[in-house]
Amino acid sequence: MTQTAPRRKLPLKERYALLTRDLDWDPSYVTKEQLFPYTSYEGIKVHDWDGWEDPFRLTVDAYYKYQAEKDKRLYAVLDGFAQSQGHLGLADASYLNAIKLFIQGVTPLEYAAHRHFAYLARYLEGPAPRFAALCQSVDELRHCQTQIHTISNYNKYYGGFHSWSKMHDRVWYLSVPKSLFDDAMTAGPFEFLISISFSFEYLLTNLLFVPFMSGASFNGDMPTMSFGFSAQSDESRHMTLGLEAIKFLLEQDEGNVPIIQDWIDKWFWRAYRMSALVAGMMDYMLPKPVMSWKEAFELYFEDQMLGGLFPDLEFYGIRPPRHVQDAIAEKDKLSHEVYKVLHNFSFAASFTTQAPNEQHMKWLAEQYPETFDQHYRPVWEKHHRIEANGGRMFFQGLPQLCQVCQIPMVFTEKDDPGKTSFRSSEFRDEQFHTCSEGCQWIFEREPEKFVQAWLPVHQIYQGNCGGPSVPEVLEWYGIQEGDNGEYKGSLDHKSWIGWHNGDVEQGV
Amino acid sequence: MSDTLRQVGIDIQESEENRGLVAAIRADNPELTVRHLPGLVKIQAAGQIVINRETVERELGREWETGEFQLAIVSFAGNLSEWDDDQIIVKWEH
């Protein structure tokens, strides 16, 4: 071929149509049902897969071009940070406890999402959602890898980062995110779309990631901020997939509406309960806090989702999630209740904790004028008194866990912050305990599924976690000296002081 | 259906490159609320936010494809009702 003048590029819409829908074909030597065996058993009816709109109109060439550019920018930041000993410019070494929680709790979920979106990319019937799922599968793998690369730099200097993958499968607080994803992956393809793409990505991901990345920026953690924003830019595409999925399914058949409503009710509460860990982290683990859980919840969830999205979905006959008022009612309590548990049990965690200092408590009191001074300040002052006398209170014993969200039973009744919220249900002559109306409702909807939960405390009692004593369990978890316990006086704390005084050599 | 215009929003990474983009969005959407968080510019407007390729190109002084918006966006609230070669519109549909 001789070189001619470059042809004008096709318009975006036309290019997208050619590169997605036009690549679809009808099977000839197998039936449609054999090719797509999983899209009918959930009761969802789809009459016309061509009704699927993809507002992003992303084509495969553009996808790789932009993703490569994102990675180039990110890795330049990572190199610069590592070369300049950037970790010494963090607000404080204790900040990294938030990042430990992140790599143990979130990064494995990225990998799980990568796997499951690859499955959707094969088994969804429409070419447009298949392609969107394929892009998301590649995105999630990128997130997993960039997080590992980013955080590996901290692993050279600090404890708690080394065995996150093993810990995700074993450690008590990590069964919370793990069980949520296992629940989603063992559901059908449409429930998975509503659980992860809609309830998690669209409803709650902003609340979880954006303030967290702003917190990284504010605490001098440039690499985390960079991978966070880089991942979030993909997230906006994932949110679009979630919203498109729900609208498409609601438009396809009236009969889909109650099924979808049920899934929204279930998955909002599942994802919200998991976010309780993030609430504790945001309010207590950032040396320089940037936005409280309550403020983020009001801005990203109440204003944007309840105020913006749900009136939009009302058109299809969808109402806000069933237990949403319970979530609103506990926004002043959630982070404090969760962090008290993490503080009590951090001897068995792969991060360290500390009671908030006076300055931090002043900020918490400003953020939570209704509850902090009255209910939580006295608790932290008690811890300060214990420590002043040379002690440190850790809870001796194992907590009861919620059968559904797997968080220890520490939440309190809506109208009484002094009373622990207990619910129980009977199934096959056994009692099952849940932490809230939401978790109880989820349990009673699918008891056959939730009785199979792998509950870390039960597993320890059954002898499946290395042995009956704390040191044996910690060894089985992969927790080493310096990973756990109190921050003040920990290995990380000592190294941090030494590096800044110049009496400890870097990297030794 | 709600009677008032509901807020839509876009969160954009704060960077040299994105300053021109934010300026273009300001120029085309006069009723904008802009809030700065560490590393972020949070833009909100009632009803809709429009991004025009031509305005962005004028602000940046170079050619700009609407697809490049993916490098700038962190998150959004609303529905991407249009995304073609010339324009991106975020709004609620109903």
The encoded tokens of residue B17 equal: 């490159």
Instruction: Give the C-alpha separation, A330 to A311, whole Å.
Output: 23
In the prediction, which pLDDT does A502 show? 83
Per residue in A169-225, pLDDT (tens digit) is 999 999 999 999 999 999 999 999 999 999 988 888 888 888 788 889 999 999 999
Q: Which of A55, A215, A236 sits opposite B75 (nearest CB)?
A: A236
In the prediction, which pLDDT does A508 show? 45
CB A229 within 8 A of CB A206: no
Amino acid type, A47: H
Q: Which of A56, A233, A291 sits opposite B71 (nearest CB)?
A: A233
**Mean model confidence pLDDT for chain A:** 93
pLDDT band at A7 (very low <50, low <70, confident <90, very high): low
The answer on pLDDT for A4 being more than 70 is: no
Length of chain B: 94
Q: Tell me whether B5 touches chain A (CB under 8 Å).
A: no
Range with lowest mean pLDDT among A76-85, A110-119, A373-382, A450-459? A76-85
In the prediction, which pLDDT does A206 show? 83
Which chain B residues are within 8 Å of A11, Cβ to Cβ?
84-85
Average pLDDT over residues A85-108: 96
Distance from CA of A229 to the nearest CA of B (A): 6
In the prediction, which pLDDT does A6 show? 62
Instruction: Give the C-alpha separation, B30 to A99, whole Å.
Output: 39
Identify which of A208, A242, A197, A222 has the alpha carbon closest to the alpha carbon of residue A106. Answer: A208
Instruction: Give the C-alpha separation, A296 to A305, whole Å.
Output: 12
Which chain A residues are within 8 Å of B39, Cβ to Cβ?
213-214, 216-217, 225, 229
In the prediction, which pLDDT does A492 show? 97
Per residue in A318-361, pLDDT (tens digit) is 999 999 999 999 999 999 999 999 999 999 999 999 999 999 99
B39 to A307: CB separation less than 8 angstroms, yes or no? no
Residue A222 CB: number of other CB atoms within 10 A? 20
Distant-in-sequence, close-in-space partners of A456: CB < 8 Å, separation ≥ 6 = A170, A171, A172, A175, A401, A406, A465
Residues 431-490, chain A, touching B (beta carbon < 8 A): none
Distance from CA of B27 to the nearest CA of A (A): 23
Distance from CA of A473 to the nearest CA of B (A): 40
Per residue in A16-60, pLDDT (tens digit) is 888 888 888 899 999 999 999 999 999 999 999 988 888 778 888
Across A178-192, A229-243, A303-317, the highest mean pLDDT is recorded for: A178-192
A-chain residue closest to B69, CA distance: A233
A55 to B11: CB separation less than 8 angstroms, yes or no? no
Q: Give the A:B interface size as CB pairs under 8 Å.
A: 111
pLDDT band at B54 (very low <50, low <70, confident <90, very high): very high
- Secondary structure (H, E, C), A217-245: HHCCCHHHHHHHHHHHHHHHHHHHHHHHH
Per residue in A311-325, pLDDT (tens digit) is 999 999 999 999 999
Identify which of B88, B91, B63 has the alpha carbon closest to the alpha carbon of residue B77. Answer: B91
Distance from CA of B16 to the nearest CA of A (A): 13
pLDDT band at A1 (very low <50, low <70, confident <90, very high): low
Q: Tell me which of A231 and B24 has the higher pLDDT.
A: B24
pLDDT band at A397 (very low <50, low <70, confident <90, very high): confident
Q: What percent of chain A has pLDDT over 70?
A: 98
Distance from CA of B32 to the nearest CA of A (A): 16
A311 to B74: CB separation less than 8 angstroms, yes or no? no
Distant-in-sequence, close-in-space partners of A41: CB < 8 Å, separation ≥ 6 = A188
Per residue in B1-50, pLDDT (tens digit) is 444 688 999 999 998 889 999 999 999 999 999 999 888 899 999 999 99
Instruction: Give the C-alpha separation, A405 to A180, whole Å.
Output: 7
